[in-house]
Structure formats: C-alpha cells, structure tokens
Amino acid sequence: MVTKFNPYHVLHGPEGGQFTSGDGDATLDSTRSQVVLMAAQDTAKKLGFDPNKIAVNEGEHPFALNGKNYQAAGLAYLDGPKAGTIELFPRQIGTGATPAITAHEIMHQKFRAYLDDYRTQREGAIKDVDIKMRGNGMLDEAGARRYPLYQEHTRITDDLHQMMRDDGVSSYSRDWWNAQEAGKATLNQAIHETLAEIGALQQTTTLANMTHIARAAPNEEGQAFLYVKPLSQQWKDLYASVNSNWQAKHNVP
Ligand SMILES: [Zn+2]
C-alpha cells in the first residue's frame, strides 16, 4: 500500500527519511517534467543554489517510514556520489508545489554545509590554546573572532530544549519532533526538517508572518487546546545564520 503524504518533501543519506507530497500518480509527460525543472531552477537561482545541481527523475522513489510506504517528491543527497545535488520527482509534485519542495530540499543542502563548517570551527576552537571556552561552550572575545560561526551557533542553540518544544512550523516538522521524542528519529533529522519546512514556507510567506498550530499543556481542568504560535526568535536566528553562511561562501548577492 502506498500512502499519500503531504506536504513536501524529502531527504537524504544514510540517516534516511524520505517523504513526499503532491497529487501522486499524475500522468507525466516530458513537458510537465520540463515545467517542474524550470520552476525548480528558477527557485534555486533566487535562493543562491546552483540550478545545475537540480535534476528531475521521471521514475519513482518509494520508501518506508515508521511502517508506512511513501513516494518521494524530492530528495536532497547529502552523502555519496550525488552529494550536494537535488532530485525532484514530477509524478509526485502537484501543480504549483515545485518552489516549496525545491526550497525545502535546498535548505537541507544549506544546513548540511553549515553543520560541516560549524564542526570544523568547533574542532579548531577546542584545540586552540590561545582562547578560552566557557562551560556553556561560548568562546571569549578572541575565540569569537576566530570562530564566528561556532560562536553564533552556540549562542542560538543555547536553549535547545526550548527550540525542541517550539518547533512545529508545520505538521510535517512536528511529526519529526514527535518521532524524535519517541526515539525514532535523531535530533539532527528533526532540526533539518524544521529548517527545511521554514525554507518551504518562505516561498509563500515571510519569517515575521510564519505561524504554526501548537498544542498548549492541559489546564487545571485537564483541557488541552490548540493555538496559533509565531515562529520563535531562535528558529528565525538559526535559519538566518544558515542562509548567511551559505551566501558568504557562494558569493550570493
Ligand atoms: Zn526534508
């Protein structure tokens, strides 16, 4: 059985996790593949991502997650011979959904690059005898100048537990946090998907207007309720930090 799954999606290398979106089973002709590819490349240019690293695949990419079967709408290759590229599956992409799916996958690539840079700076900071690292991981002034990305990431994620509670820019990323809490997904995957969803949503709204439905803790009468919650400052900061790191490296104006 193939379960259709909205919205967007999907990813990546050995940690797995691939999702999908869209109308599914749509008739596909080469014109439609071209339309998807052109729209995706247009989105890539706007986001400072090399449009030549996006390809369409007219076949299918079925996968299983938590016992359910899905068809991928897009894949961001983070490892292996195709690392750094994105593949889209027009059969699974509904009309008008290409920019959001593309932006989602591009954010996976940007965050991967960001984490690589962060780890490199972190290793440098740990070995650096000329600087001091405080108990909370923050560096002294000299260290902050040498390892600015490390410092910024450490500052933003200082209260990671709050970020884990906040998440939920979409039901899709919230699902990942639920899986993470249940031990079925890693913290890295949940953060990846949350940022990717922010990227997708940014195709249709601004960070300032981004909201999601959250569930409040039950009150004294035991009633839980849903409410609209804006995107938290920490998530906005992390998203902006990932983008500016990418822009600095790729000379994006
Ligand atoms: Zn994803």
Model pLDDT for residues 47-79, shown as the tens digit of each residue: 999 999 999 999 988 877 666 777 889 999 998
pTM of the model: 0.85
Whether the pLDDT of residue 12 is over 70: the answer is: no
The label of the residue with tokens 């259709």 reads 4
Taking the centre of ligand 1 as the mean of its atom positions, its distance from the CA of residue 126, in whole angstroms, is 31
Q: Is 238 exposed, middle or buried (0-12, 13-18, 19+ CB in 10 A)?
A: buried
Taking the centre of ligand 1 as the mean of its atom positions, its distance from the CA of residue 11, in whole angstroms, is 5
DSSP string covering 151-178:
HHHHHHTTTHHHHHHH--SSHHHHHHHH
Taking the centre of ligand 1 as the mean of its atom positions, its distance from the CA of residue 104, in whole angstroms, is 6
Taking the centre of ligand 1 as the mean of its atom positions, its distance from the CA of residue 192, in whole angstroms, is 7
Model pLDDT for residues 76-127, shown as the tens digit of each residue: 999 899 999 999 999 888 888 999 999 999 999 999 999 999 999 999 999 9
Helix, strand, coil abundance in the chain, percent, nearest 5:
45, 10, 40
